[in-house]
Structures are given as C-alpha cells and as structure tokens.
Copies of this chain bind each other. A is one copy, B any other.
Amino acid sequence: MSEQRFIYDLSDGDATMRNLLGGKGAGVAEMARVGVPVPDAFTVTTTACVAAMENNGTWPDGLKEQIKEGLVRLEERTGKKLGASQNPLLVSVRSGAVHSMPGMMDTILNLGMSDDSARAMAEETGNARFAWDCYRRFIQMYGEVVEGVPGHAYEDALAQMKSDRGVEQDTDLDADDLKELVATFKEISSEHLGGDWTNDPREQLDRAIDAVFRSWGNPRAEVYRRANNISAKLGTAVNIMQMVFGNGGDTSGTGVCFTRNPSTGEKALYGEFLVNAQGEDVVAGIRTPRPLEEMEEILPEAYHQLVDTMHKMEDHYKDMQDMEFTIENGKLFLLQTRNGKRTAAAALKVASDLVDEGVLDKHQALLRVEPSQLDQLLHPAIDPKHGRRSIAKGLPASPGAAVGEVVFDADTAAERGAKGEPVVLVRFETTPDDIHGIIVAQGILTAHGGMTSHAAVVARGMGKPCVAGAQGIRIDPKGKTLTIGDHVFKEGDTITLDGTTGNVYGEALELVPPQINADFRRMVAWADEVRALGVRANADNFEDATKARELGAEGIGLCRTEHMFMAADRLPAVRKMILADSPEERAAALEEILPMQQSDFEGVFTAMKGLPVTVRLLDPPLHEFLPDLTEQSLKVQKLELEGGDAQELGAARATLAQVRRLHELNPMLGTRGCRLAMLYPEIPEMQTRAIVRAALAVLEREGETAEIEIMIPLVALTEELKVQRGIVEKTMADELKTSGKTLDVTIGTMIELPRAALLADQIAEYADFFSFGTNDLTQTTIGISRDDAENGFLTNYVVDHVLERNPFESIDVEGVGQLVRMGVERGRSRKPKLKTGVCGEHGGDPDSIEFFHSVGLNYVSCSPFRVPIARFAAARAVLNERRN
C-alpha cells in the first residue's frame, strides 16, 4: 500500500479540493491557477490533521518526510532557503479549515527568522529595523503559540524598553533597540522552556504545523464551531506560504476587501487597508484602517491591479469574494480569497443582483442564501418614531437593534446571558477569547476596530447587532464604566444599539418587528416556485395569525388552546373547573370559559379565512393552572406559623390539597393531552363547541371561515383517538344540528410518542391527518426532559461532542427521524392520502426541514417569523435533492 499523500504544492491544487486543502489552501491554489499573483506555498492536508487527532496527536507515518520534501521544492521554486544566512526564505504557517473560522485558530508569521536570516535580510533590504522587528515578532508569536509562553512576558519587556528609551510608540524604537529586544525575548523564551533558545527553523516549522493542528481543538474554535454547526471531525489544513511584507515602508501595505458591500450587498468595492502594516494589524482592529477608495491615490498601480483581480475572482466564483492582500514595495500579492461572509440582507441582494446580471439562474441564487442566516433579518429594529438623540456613533458593523444592560467582560456576559438576562457586551475590541460572551449577548459595542474587525465579522455571522469602532467612547474594564461625553454607564445600566446605523442610545428604546425587504420578497417568491412542502405557522391569536399570513404562512399548523386558559382574567374560571367535584360542576365552569375560547378562535379563523387552521385541544396537565407545590406549601406554613387569618389559611390549605392531588413526579409523562380529555370529556366537548360556534360566527360575519382541523394531542393508544374522535364528532353534530348549519371539519392527531409512530397504521384509521410533535417525540425517544437537559447534561454533551447538535434545535435524524419516517409510511400504508405535517420547533430549522421534505411530509409549521426561512429551506431541500 502506497503512503498517503499529505502535501500539495501550490500548483497541485484547485478550488474543487476544498475538503482536502481547506478553504484557504484551495482558494490560493485556484488563484495561482488562473494567474492571480500569490506568494508561493504548499499545503498540509486536513487528512493529516484528522489522522493526528485520531491518534492522540501523533503524526501519521510519512507526514514529517513529506513536509521536508515540500519545503525543499518551495526552496527550489523561490530560490531561497529556510534559515539561510543569504537570501533566506521566510514563511507563514496558517490554519485553513474547510469552512471559514476567522481568527479562531493559530497562525505563525515570519517563520525562518534566525540571527543569520535577520542579518541577511537587513542587508538585502537595506532596512535593519524592519529585519529585527520581524525577528522579535516571530519569537513572540512562536513563543506564545507553540511554546505556550505567556504573552505578557514579551509585552512587559517591550514596555520596559520603551520606558528605558523614553519613547511612546513601538515605531520609535530603532534597529539596535529591536536587536536588543530580540535577545531579551530569547531569554524570556529560554527561561520559560528551561533550556536554551536555539534557532532551528526546520524543527520550528514542524512544531508550528503541529500547533496549528492542535489549535483546531482550542476552546474558542469549539465554541465557534458549535455556534455555526461545523463538525468537530473535519480538522484543519495548514498553509505554508512564502512571506511577503506589507510593513516594509510607504510603498507597502496590507488590506482586506470585498467585491460587494458585505453589510448591504450593494455592488461596490468595499474594503480597508493600512499602509506599512502586516495583515494581522487590519484584522485585529488595533489600528483603525482607511477606506479602500483612498488607496487609489496612494498606490494607484496596485489599486487598479487589485480592482481588476477582484472582478476577475468574483466572475470566476460567481459569488461575492472576500480577499486579503499585501503590497510589498508596490507589488500586489493576494493572500486569500473566499466567498465573503455577509449579512442576510447582503446575501439576498447579492444573489438577486447576480441573477439580474445574468451570472446565476434563480435556483443557483437560492442555493447562495443560507436559510438559517435569514433569521437576522427577522430581528426587531428600533421604533423609527423614537425621537431620541444618539449619544455616540460607530460603524454599522452588523445590522439589527439590541437593548441590554452593559457588561464589560465575556464571562459576565456568558453568566448573565445564560440566565436569560439581556446584556450588551462593551469591549475596547473583541478577541476570539470573547466568543462565549458574544454568543449570549444581545449586541456588541466596541471602541476600536473596523467593519472587518473580529467583533464585526463574528457578529454578522451570528446575525447579532454590532456597533464597532465607536469614536469618543471611553471604556474602563477594571472600574467597569463606559463614559460617553458626560454620561457614565456602570455595569447593569441599559443602552440601545442600532447596528444598522451605528447609533448608540443611552437608554432602552422601543423595538419594532422587522420588515421584509424587496430582495427578500423576490427570492422567497422564487423559493415558493420550487418548494414541495407547505409552510404554516404556529399562532393562537388574531395578531400572530395575521402576521403569519403576511409572512406567507399557508395556514396555522398549531393553534394551541392553553394560552386561552392561562390569561389572568380567565384563571378563576379555569381553577373553578379544576376544583369541580362533579362532571356537572365542571361543565358549568367550562361554560364560563367557552365564550372566551370562542372569541379567541374567531380571531384566528378571521385572520386565516380560506386557509387551514389546526386547533390542538387542551394539552398541558391541569396543575399548570395551579400554584407550584413548594410555593404553596411555604405559604401555608407561613400562615400557620405566623397565626394568619383563618379564612386565608383555610383557602390556602384547600388549594394546597388540590395541588398535592394533581402533583405529578414526571408531568411530561403524566395526565396531559388526550389523557386529560379521557378523564374529563367535558373539556373537549366545551372546546369543540367553542370551535364550531366561532367558525359559524366568522362564516356569518365574513362570508368565509378557516378550514378547521381539530387535533387530539398525546395519543398513544388507538382507542384514545377513537373515543376522542367520537366525542368531537358527537359534539359537533349536536352544535350543527342546533344551528342548522353545516361545516367541514377534519379530525386528526399528533404523533408525538414513539408508540403512536410505531402503530401509525392503526391510528390512521381514526385520523384525517397526522401532525408530528417532534419536541415531545424527541423527549420520549431519547428519554430527555428538555427543560432539565438544556440546563444540564445536554449542554455538556454538545460541548464534549457526545452529540454533534442539540436534538431540540435540529431533529435527530438517525433516531427520532426513524420514527417520523415510520409514522408517515405506516400511516399512509393504511391511508395513502393521509395529510402529514410537523408542528414542533424543528419546523423552522432548515436542516430539519430538509429531512421533513425527504420523508414526504405535506407541510411544516413554525413560529410566524420563521415562515420565510422555512419557505427558503423547503426550496433548498428540493434543489439539494436534485443535486444529489
């Protein structure tokens, strides 16, 4: 068996080899292939990284030798030699995953620097300061990343040097100073390593590659992958590229550019650059860069070459590109190109424009928009009528509005965010170490950094509002204050951010629901032409149903009736019903609730007239309408011990007795759904009556009503559905007879227990439709209580990769999915035209929608604001199916 190949030279790769070479490696190779100037390079494959991970970090056989050979070839091609005292080769060692994970893994620049190389470079470039600066940067970066030396040790030494010299800026240090600093840095490294610092660039290369491999598993990369649903099993490629220098003087520079505006999607070059700087300076947001347009004046030749290259690459990839470049003494090098990260609005505009430009057809355009990303468009904005003055303005780095309490560090943000408290993370600048705080924050405000700074890129990816580089704000993270003009905000004070405009407000402003723009409407219409799945919404009142219809819902897939019981003004009647001693008393209490239910139903049926509405009969256990057992026990004890009012005590004790009687150890598996209706048939009778009366009232008033589907929840046994169907049918017949009207109503059931899926053929006998309740089905199939698990072991499971995704967010296809498939197949084996849908929260998750399409459901139902996402995702499901 021949040895596996782990090394690809620049000329061996192309864009199709992304899985093997990572996005960066494949992108650079493709650029070289089509004649774009890139530094020479070779790539260590992702398979090498995976092999090492699987073997506890031990490299696979042959890797070390192949790297050595790859280096020799690179040296031959460039005519330079790593660590040489003449014409030395310097390389960057960079991660490059299959899916872009900006800033999450490690990079080592200037590898190859040694005493000899530094001297040679000083001589060759005539710029000794530059050479020693590169060297000290290398020692610091290598020490931190590879050897784990604490960064502050180097920073302290640098600060000491500046203080000794009485200067303020790094740039005020001269070549000798930096040479001395190199010696100091070496000592720091040696001290930490407990041995001498020795320059062996060949050895350092291997160790740098290994460090990049290991950085795949660092905590911030894990957090990022989880937030972006990237598998932990992919591994990263490592790119070894000849260094080019943007920091060699005023004819050098570095920058980042997009072929279109990544925030709005507008067709205009968009980017930032810094003269006399290395690439990391732009990305890290330490110096605020200049707009790309200004480069035309400063470096006109490189600018025009860059513009040409940008157009060329966009045409080549038929998608907006995000590129990194360096200009070395006036010569342009492209370091990376990739499909640019963009806001959802930009994604829609770019895809839509590319259709108009004749570059893509409609179906290709649909595949360019990630449905899950559209969520960010569906976030609220600040009410335009607010009339307040902003107190600061920054860059509109990620659109949307956020209201929250100021916090100054990621740990506090994570802690408070986990409790559901709305926080805005305020940082001088963010780093990858802040990721856990960013994930839970409502929004991000930074004082430094541009549109491509860490905070901006990450926030856009998450659809989270971000205002970056806000001028004139002062942050004291230790003292925990944010000062804007004469306002001083302490931790816990509330502010509002507008990531769409860059405005910051010193108070909580009202937010309004998002509006769907023209690009969105246009592309969703294309999606509707393609998709097979129907899309409905979950709603239980007029307002939500109306909103759902506006957003394109083709019906209500789940109209819950429990909220109709929960309203404060209804609880007394509901409790009377629960405390009833006889069916008659219960029926009397239900009579009080009936008109309220009816009026709610009228609202929904009016909003949805002409479309189907699935009404689920009462589902939660009765004790949900009573006080908590512990609370009530404490109340009684308190009254007892304090000798409270006798009447109050009596009432409290009576309530406690009821709470105890109805208390269940595992309410999720208790007396709820149709089990309740079996015990108290008065409840489904009342509900059916309210539904029929509401439908007749709407029909009379509006001339049309909704297509009503009555749904029996939590059926495990065929007999339950048979009995409940009988109750609904009989009540309906009675009501219609009384009214003398007719009404078409279908009766179906939820499939939300494993047994129901297993016996779907029997159950279909009594069901006009099935609606899969995948939340409950997930709970019972995996044996996980959602409420408990998401605050407990489930989170650990996702962190530890016991599970790749939270099964309540995206359906567990291989487990729960089997039962859904079985339910559909068995149900249809009895009733070939059985209508099937899903009404769990998975109905709004794009990956789950793809699965539901594959098993042949008729529709999905989700929250109103996810309807457009579901329409998109349903179309993609069809297109992906065709591709496969």
A interface with B by C-beta (< 8 Å): 629-630, 633-634, 637-638, 641-642, 664-671, 675, 678-679, 714, 716-717, 719-720, 723, 752-755, 758-759, 776, 779-785, 787-789, 792-793, 796-797, 800-803, 812, 814-816, 818-819
Contact = CB atoms under 8 A, between A and B. Distances in A.
Nearest to A642: B641
Contacts of A782: 716-717, 753-755
Q: Give 7 nearest A-B pairs by CB, closest first.
A: A669-B785, A666-B785, A755-B815, A753-B783, A754-B754, A664-B788, A666-B668
Contacts of A667: 665-666, 785, 788
Nearest to A673: B783
A812 B759 CA distance: 12
6 contacts: A666-B785, A666-B787, A669-B780, A678-B797, A678-B802, A755-B781
Given A630-B633, A669-B779, A717 B788 contact: no
A758 B819 CA distance: 9
A759 B796 contact: no
Nearest to A720: B802
Contacts of A629: 630
Oligomeric state, in copies: 2
B719 A815 contact: no
Nearest to A791: B664
Contacts of A637: 634, 637-638
B802 A665 contact: no
A723 B801 CA distance: 11
A668 B669 contact: yes
Given A678-B796, A719-B803, A782-B716, A789 B670 contact: yes
A781 B753 contact: yes
Contacts of A803: 717, 719
A784 B720 CA distance: 14
Contacts of A755: 781-783, 812, 815-816
Given A641-B641, A717-B802, A758-B819, 18 more contacts: A637-B638, A641-B642, A664-B792, A665-B785, A665-B787, A666-B667, A666-B668, A666-B787, A667-B788, A671-B792, A678-B793, A678-B796, A717-B803, A720-B802, A752-B783, A755-B783, A755-B812, A755-B815
Residue from A670, A723, A776 having most chain B Cβ neighbours under 10 A: A670
A782 B666 CA distance: 14
Contacts of A816: 755
Contact of A785 (B664, B784, B815): B664
Given A716-B783, A819-B754, A796 B679 contact: yes
A586 to B, nearest CB: 16
A637 to B, nearest CB: 5
- Chain A interface mostly: helix
Contact of A783 (B679, B776, B785, B796): B776
Contacts of A812: 755
Nearest to A722: B802
A800 B724 CA distance: 14
A738 to B, nearest CB: 23
Contact of A792 (B670, B719, B752, B814): B670
A665 B668 contact: yes
B793 A758 contact: no
B714 A783 contact: yes
Contact of A815 (B675, B759, B788): B759
A824 to B, nearest CB: 15
Contacts of A630: 629-630, 633
Contacts of A716: 782-784, 815
B670 A785 contact: yes
Contact of A641 (B638, B679, B793, B802): B638
A642 B640 CA distance: 12
A390 B773 CA distance: 63
A638 B785 CA distance: 32
Nearest to A719: B802
Residue from A671, A719, A754, A803 having most chain B Cβ neighbours under 10 A: A754
A818 B758 contact: yes
Contact of A675 (B665, B668, B793): B793
Nearest to A757: B754
Given A633-B634, A723-B802, A814 B781 contact: no
Contact of A788 (B638, B642, B670, B802): B670
B666 A669 contact: yes
B671 A669 contact: no
Contacts of A665: 667-668, 785, 787-788
Contacts of A720: 802
A385 B759 CA distance: 56
A202 B716 CA distance: 48
A419 to B, nearest CB: 14
A797 to B, nearest CB: 7
A803 B776 CA distance: 22
Nearest to A753: B783
A457 B748 CA distance: 47
A812 B755 CA distance: 10
Nearest to A762: B814
A716 B717 CA distance: 24
A825 to B, nearest CB: 14
A554 to B, nearest CB: 30
A58 B797 CA distance: 61
Contact of A781 (B723, B752, B754): B754
Contacts of A719: 801-803
